[in-house]
Each structure stands twice: as structure tokens, then as C-alpha cells.
Structure 1
Amino acid sequence: MIRIGGWARLSTCDWPGRLVATVFCQGCPWRCGYCHNPELLDPRVPAAVSWGAVTVHLARRRGLLDGVVFSGGEPLLQAGLADAVRQARALGFAVGLHTGGAYPRRFGQLLGEGLLDWVGFDVKAHPEAYEKVTATPNSAFPAARSLRLLLDSGVPHEVRTTVDPDLLDAAGVTALRSWTERQGVRGHVLKTARAV
């Protein structure tokens, strides 16, 4: 199904205004310098909890939780994500996704099937500065493609950027804000990187 590096049985901060369970998917193709979940980067790490255990918990929390958020790591790395999302929805939960958009084909599938109720989308930088932040070649194109898919889908979302001044200076933030505005982003949220 999906490989899970950890989870929060109750979260009030992973989906604004909702009480959710948050599933942290193992693995990420990018290596952002400020990553606050570095233990989730390696996709080969054995699962910390099974998806079956999560669904048992969810079944017991119907009527108490508003939804489930798939976070990471990068949840779209998981080939089984769509099936997990379908199962969560079959249990009666709304589904949120935290993503950087590294896999636009999988993202487009979720959006196209109407499987997502909300998306927290992490834009790392202006496209020309993406590789500096992600430490991964050619990371800007899939992210920009995924952002376009999200904006065109009409799915409620929050577009946000973690600002680490060592990776994204004031000029970089200005260039990024200008670029996101041209894409049609409204309410772009800037967050300060946490010390790790």
C-alpha cells in the first residue's frame, strides 16, 4: 500500500480549521536544506506503522475527526497513494495532501478523480532558484506543472513557501512572489524555516 514513516493521531495544524489525522509518508526525491522531517527522506527505511493500523484508528474516529492529511516526505512518491486516499474517503473522511508537486502525473490523477478536498502546496522558490533549494536537478519543471494542475483544478488549497535566508534571500522572495502572482496564486503564505 503506502510506506509510512510516522503519523499523528490528532492534528490541529496540518489542515487549517480541521481536526485531522496526519500520515507522514516515507521518502522524498528532494533534499531541501531546511527540511524538518529528514528522517523521512530515505524511501528505503522500513515502515514505522502499517496503513492497516491507520485505517483501524480512522474507523474508530468517525465523527470525531474531520479528515486525513497525507504529508511527508513527499506523499506523491508512493505508488499506492491513490488507493490509500480512496480507502480514507470510503471511511467517510475528507482528504488533504501536503506536496511539493514532484510527481505531476500522480498529482493530476488525484485531482482529476476528485479525490482531494484540500492541498497544502509547497513552492520552494522561483523556478530559476529551485535547484539551489531542493539540491536536485530539474526539480522546477514538475513543481511548476503540478502548481498549474492545482490552480486549474479549483480544489481549495494553500500555496506556501518556507523561507530559509541561506537559500532564499529577499531578492529571491520578491522574484518568487512576482512569479506566483503571474501564475494566478492568491494568498501566498511565507513561513520562516525552523532551526533543525
Structure 2
Amino acid sequence: MPNADSLPSRSPAPEVAGTAAPPPATRGSQALRIGGLTRLTGVDFPGRLAAVVFLQGCPWRCVYCHNPGLLDAAVPGALSWQAVHGFLRQRRGLLDGVVFSGGEPTLQAALGPALAEVRALGFATGLHTGGMYPERLQRVLPQLDWVGLDIKAPQHRHDQVTGTRGGGARAARSLRLLQHSGVALECRTTWHAGLFGRDDLFRLADALAAQAVSHWVLQTCRSPGLAAPVLDAEDLAALAARFARFECR
């Protein structure tokens, strides 16, 4: 997931004469705890210029997490949804979409109302999720145009990588829901040899291919103190052969 930054203090632009004002932020969405905002990105919502709204709270403790400030669900939001909503109103016609990221966005019940408001403003909607809450994901699927699903590890390594028990089965259910939803889907895995080995990586690729995943992104992690990736061009070609679309970032 991308890194969060902050929203500048700006007043919403006035409405253009002769156009209907978009609906205001509702009470349900006001409960959204927002940890940060990326105002413009061309890489976090495929094919679209987008803003990314980072939501507070995550049940997992992945060792490579690059947004640790978003992990604690009890931390108050750094930004109000009213401020973000006003910012998005200014960007109609300039941005194509809005992605909700985290943390884990589906942790917050206010995600659904916020997605509805983003759609009412005319934006396409995207979601970054690890799939920990399949029931909540299922409820918001009708309001989504695209989902980036983080596949953390093979099933037998999932608890170790995320530091949480039982998440692998929940993520697998989320994948099945997405596969049957018709919503555009990108599965991606952050990997380095210190998390799990090359053989397990290939087992994961085989498992995803067996579930008819068509688009898989491998995000190689290079961090101090972690084992370096050990994939060569032949390995990458072998992984790519399993999917209709494969990317290594």
C-alpha cells in the first residue's frame, strides 16, 4: 500500500453556477477515522488518476508494514471526512477515482457510507484490502469498481507473516467473493526471502492460478536487515506463465 501524507488546509471551492450541489457528507461517514490522504497518484488505481484515503486501524502486524502509524484502531483520525469530502468536491473533473486504503479499510463500518458519497460525486471507487473481514467486504462490493487484494502468504505461512491467527482462511474467502463479484481485481504479494522461501512463493503462485486469479503483482521487498530477493529472470518467467497478467514491482 502507498504511504499516507496529510491534507492541506483549504476551503472547498464554490459550486459552479447552474449545477446541482453534490450531497453533503452524511452522519454515517463522519465516523470515518482517516489517517492520511494522498492527493494524486497514477499507480494506486490502475488506469486512473486517483486520490488515496488512508483509514486508521489494522488487525495484522506484518513485519514489513510501511504505514505503522495506521495500525492502532484507537488512534483518532488525523483528518475529518468532511475535509476530505470538500477536497474531493474541488477535484471533480480532475481526478478519475478515489481509493480507500489503510491500515485495513474494511475494519471501519463507515466505509460503506463514504463509498456511496464518493460515487455520488462522480468518482470511480477502489479499495486496498487484506481480506480479513469478508462479510464487511461483501457488503461494500456493489459500491466498488476495483479492488487490490493483498495476498500475504501461502496458507501455512499466513499467521507467521501477519502476526495474527486465522487470517488466512478469511483472506481466502474474500478472494472467492471477489472472484464471483465481477469487480475488477488485482492480487498482489509483498515478498522477500526472509518471509518465506522461493518454493513457498511458487506454491502460492500455483494456488492462485488454481483459483483462476488472472492478475498477480509480485512486490519484492528490499529492507535493511531482511534477506534479499532470490529470483532470477527464469523464475520470473515461470511465475508469469501461470497468469494472464503478471507484474513485478
Aligned counterpart in structure 2 of residue 117 of structure 1, from 121, 142, 145: 145
The answer to whether residue 202 in structure 2 is matched with residue 161 in structure 1 is: no
The answer to whether residue 44 in structure 2 is matched with residue 5 in structure 1 is: no
The answer to whether residue 200 in structure 2 is matched with residue 172 in structure 1 is: yes
Q: Which one has a bigger Cα radius of gyration?
A: 2
Give the superposition deviation at 1:186. 1.2
Q: Structure 1 vs Structure 2: percent identity of aligned residues?
A: 55
Alignment of 1:66-105 (within 5 A): 66-105=96-135
SS in 1 for 2:54: strand
Q: Which amino acid letter does the alignment assign opposite residue 195 of structure 1? A: S
Higher alpha-carbon deviation: 161-170 or 114-123: 161-170
**What is the match of residue 133 of structure 1?**
161
SS in 1 for 2:223: coil
SS in 2 for 1:167: coil
Alignment of 1:52-63 (within 5 A): 52-63=82-93
Q: Which amino acid letter does the alignment assign opposite residue 41 of structure 2? A: S
Give the superposition deviation at 1:195. 2.4
Q: Name the TM-score, length of structure 1 as normaliser.
A: 0.96
Aligned counterpart in structure 2 of residue 48 of structure 1, from 75, 78, 103: 78
Measure the CA separation in 1 of the matches of 2:68 and 2:222: 13
Q: Which amino acid letter does the alignment assign opposite residue 31 of structure 1? A: R
Give the superposition deviation at 1:168. 2.0
Measure the CA separation in 2 of the matches of 1:2 and 1:182: 37
Contact in 2 for aligned 1:75/1:81 (Cα 8 Å): yes
Number of aligned residues? 194
Q: Name the TM-score, length of structure 2 as normaliser.
A: 0.76
Contact in 1 for aligned 2:185/2:215 (Cα 8 Å): no
Query: Structure with the greater relative contact order (CA < 8 A, sep ≥ 6): 1 or 2?
Result: 1
Q: Which amino acid letter does the alignment assign opposite residue 68 of structure 2? A: P
Measure the CA separation in 2 of the matches of 1:115 and 1:164: 34
Give the superposition deviation at 1:89. 0.6
Measure the CA separation in 2 of the matches of 1:175 and 1:157: 21
Measure the CA separation in 2 of the matches of 1:71 and 1:62: 20
Aligned counterpart in structure 2 of residue 33 of structure 1, from 57, 63, 70: 63
Gaps of 5+ in 1: none
Contact in 2 for aligned 1:4/1:24 (Cα 8 Å): yes
The answer to whether residue 44 in structure 2 is matched with residue 14 in structure 1 is: yes
Measure the CA separation in 2 of the matches of 1:191 and 1:135: 20
Gaps of 5+ in 2: 1-30, 225-249
Cα distance, 1:194–1:87 mapped onto 2, change above 3 Å: farther
**What is the match of residue 142 of structure 1?**
170
